[in-house]
Chain A
Amino acid sequence: MLLVTLAAPTVGAAREYLQVFITQPYLELHTGPGRGYPVFNVVARQESVDVLYRRTDWFKVRTERGVEGWASQKDMLRTVLADGSPFTFDLGDRAGFTSHRFEMGIFAGNYGGATLISGYTSMSFNSQLAAELSVGQFLGKFSNGVTADLGLTHTIVPEWRLQPFLMLGTGLVHVTPKATLVAPTERTDQTAYVGGGVRYYLTRRFFLRGEYKSHEVFTKRNANQQVDEWKLGFAFFF
């Protein structure tokens, strides 16, 4: 019994790295993760490589002889696992645009008449619903400020190349009036927003995104303030 328990870990020990077998005549190894880097080694059919890690569309692999190099995603798609099943991984293509986990992007736009610079990141729960955090800085004639929004987006038809979506959320806005005004006071107010926009798939992992948000700023004055935000940007998913 003791022997069995002692022997078990060595027998069942999982490999640290994934081992894949080459099925095409040979697998080319490049010196760097890009098509422009030269091929310095090849791995023959039936031999295997360990997959160490991935950078963009390239895989760092180690051959049975201990040579390390970079193999392209296109070549790795034609390798198989030890049980003969094909090696599959996230390709970063149109299917990924429909359903992915994370998004990030940068925007330029307009926030209530001021120039806006903004960035966002989102995490998807499924292909339609995602939680989103965006931060921005606006630079206007009379005041500057920063905004932070947290909310949900709902993509109406994730399968389309041009995806309309709706947004709902809450945030904060910090406004710093310019010193030229009389008795300027900085203020931070809570906001709520509704909005909508479109994403347009470009290629690989990239897409364009344009959106409109209507912010209701809950000021400490008598009336709330309504601010329109328009922005257009460049984003990617992963």
Chain B
Amino acid sequence: METGLRVLLLTAAVLLLPGCAVRNWIHHHNEVKAERKAAKEEEARAAQGQEDDTDTAPPRVIDPDVERRKINVPKIKSSNVELGLHYGALSVEDFGTNPVYGVSAAYHVTEDFFFLGEAGRSQAGRTSFETLGGNVQLLTGAERRFTYYNLALGYNFLPGEAFLGRGIAMPSAFYMLGGIGNVKFAGDDHFTVSFGAGYRVLPADWLAIHITVEDRVFKSDLLGVSKLTNNIEARIGTTVYF
């Protein structure tokens, strides 16, 4: 019984499949026919057009059969990235002024604006309280380490040229910075808002010298009361454009 059913189904399938194929073939044949007809019509139209042309246009003396020169367009390099090192003095509020060093990376988006990322480190000194109090130690050595990073937006203004003697002129500009970041100090992380300004002069198109002053402001409750501390950094840096 089962085999009979199978045979029946198979026969049906065998009969149906070519049926589909024939249907497809007929459809395809019609399509090809239509295409050919369209092509013929087009050819006829083109020929007619050409005849019209030959009637009106003057005969050509020279056939400009010149091959167009192919231009290989080389990729134009971009030089928007500025990487550098800086060194200066950082005044940590209540903890004296100490040397600071760091790195920076900038991306120049337009001639006016740039994004800046910077990170640096300093070692805070002793508060006056500690100095006067003799043996009092507010922080351990490791806790006195002041480490910061900052993500900022910069704006260039007052562009101009700086002259060195009679023969050398270097492009220069002032810039303003505003950003957010973190300061790790006294064993704690502090959300920090930074703002500052700087002056940049370019002895060569790939090299810049910076003088920057930046204030890093964060809330600290280290000395009993919670207060905003201003930590002013003045530094000199050198950067290279890539």
CA distance in complex: A44, B68 (Å): 25
Cβ-defined contact, B159 with A206, below 8 A: no
Extra contacts besides A57-B110, A106-B179 (15): CB < 8 Å: A18-B76, A33-B111, A34-B112, A37-B159, A37-B171, A53-B78, A55-B78, A60-B205, A82-B71, A83-B68, A83-B69, A108-B180, A117-B180, A117-B181, A205-B110
A51 at the interface (CB under 8 A from B): yes
CA distance in complex: A15, B75 (Å): 12
B77 at the interface (CB under 8 A from A): yes
Interface string of B198-237 (1 = CB under 8 A from A): 0000100100000000000000000000000000000000
A192 at the interface (CB under 8 A from B): no
Cβ-defined contact, A14 with B180, below 8 A: no
- Complex partner residue of A32 from B70, B113, B202, CB under 8 angstroms: B202
CA distance in complex: A236, B80 (Å): 13
Contacts of B73 in A (CB 8 A): 18, 81
Cβ-defined contact, A139 with B76, below 8 A: no
Given contacts A16-B74, A38-B161, A117-B151, contact A139 B171 (CB under 8 A): no
Interface string of B117-153 (1 = CB under 8 A from A): 1000000000000000000000000000000000101
Cβ-defined contact, B76 with A56, below 8 A: no
- Give the contacts of A14-47 with B (CB-CB under 8 A): 14-18, 31-38
Cβ-defined contact, A234 with B80, below 8 A: no
Cβ-defined contact, A85 with B110, below 8 A: no
Nearest neighbor of B108 in chain A, beta-carbon distance = A56
Cβ-defined contact, B111 with A34, below 8 A: yes
What are 29 A-B residue pairs whose CB atoms fall within 8 Å in the complex? A15-B74, A16-B74, A18-B73, A31-B161, A32-B159, A32-B161, A32-B171, A33-B111, A36-B158, A36-B159, A36-B160, A37-B161, A53-B79, A54-B76, A54-B79, A56-B109, A57-B111, A60-B79, A81-B71, A81-B73, A82-B71, A89-B76, A106-B180, A117-B180, A117-B182, A178-B188, A179-B187, A234-B153, A236-B115
Whole-angstrom distance between the Cβ of A93 and the nearest chain B Cβ: 11
Nearest neighbor of B158 in chain A, beta-carbon distance = A36
Nearest neighbor of A32 in chain B, beta-carbon distance = B171
A163 at the interface (CB under 8 A from B): no
Contacts of B72 in A (CB 8 A): 14
Cβ-defined contact, A119 with B151, below 8 A: yes
- Complex partner residue of B109 from A33, A115, A238, CB under 8 angstroms: A238
A-side interface residues, number (CB < 8 Å): 46
Cβ-defined contact, A58 with B111, below 8 A: yes
Given contacts A31-B161, A38-B161, contact A236 B109 (CB under 8 A): yes
B83 at the interface (CB under 8 A from A): no
Cβ-defined contact, B115 with A54, below 8 A: no
Please name the 5 residue pairs, one residue from A and one from B, whose CB atoms are nearest each other, closest first.
A32-B171, A36-B159, A53-B77, A34-B111, A106-B151
Cβ-defined contact, B76 with A104, below 8 A: no
Contacts of A106 in B (CB 8 A): 115, 151, 153, 179-180
Contacts of B108 in A (CB 8 A): 55-56
A59 at the interface (CB under 8 A from B): yes
- Complex partner residue of B156 from A17, A34, A117, A119, CB under 8 angstroms: A34
B101 at the interface (CB under 8 A from A): no
Whole-angstrom distance between the Cβ of A119 and the nearest chain B Cβ: 6
A137 at the interface (CB under 8 A from B): yes
Contacts of A89 in B (CB 8 A): 76
Contacts of A18 in B (CB 8 A): 73-74, 76
Nearest neighbor of B159 in chain A, beta-carbon distance = A36
Contacts of B181 in A (CB 8 A): 117
Cβ-defined contact, A85 with B76, below 8 A: no
B10 at the interface (CB under 8 A from A): no
Of A15, A89, A117, most buried by chain B (CB within 10 Å of CB) is: A117
Contacts of B70 in A (CB 8 A): 83
CA distance in complex: A57, B161 (Å): 19
Cβ-defined contact, A56 with B110, below 8 A: yes
- Complex partner residue of A104 from B71, B115, B180, CB under 8 angstroms: B115
Whole-angstrom distance between the Cβ of B72 and the nearest chain A Cβ: 5
Of B156, B173, B182, most buried by chain A (CB within 10 Å of CB) is: B182
